[in-house]
Amino acid sequence: MDITKKAKEELEDRLDKIEAFIAKKGIGSTQLQKVRKTQRDLNLGIMLGGIITVAGLIIWMKAAGKEE
């Protein structure tokens, strides 16, 4: 059991390395890198927008509470 499990893990590790190499050097790799960067920037923008919205709502609710 232990030998088959170890062999399976080693094969999976090698496959991961091959997939990473293909993603880095293969056809379309530059487009893939651009898409990943765009996705990261979009996620950061959405997160920042959410934080600003929550902060604005908190400030608005506090200001509305003081008026009463």
Q: How far apart are CA 68 and CA 66, in angstroms?
A: 6
In which residue ranges of the chain is pLDDT below 50? none
Count of structural domains, the chain: 1
The answer, as to whether pTM is greater than 0.75, is no
Average per-residue pLDDT for the chain: 90
CB within 8 Å of 23: residues ≥ 6 apart: 29, 32
pLDDT for the residue numbered 38: 97
Structural domain of 53: 2-67
pLDDT for the residue numbered 1: 61
pLDDT for the residue numbered 29: 81
pLDDT for the residue numbered 67: 66
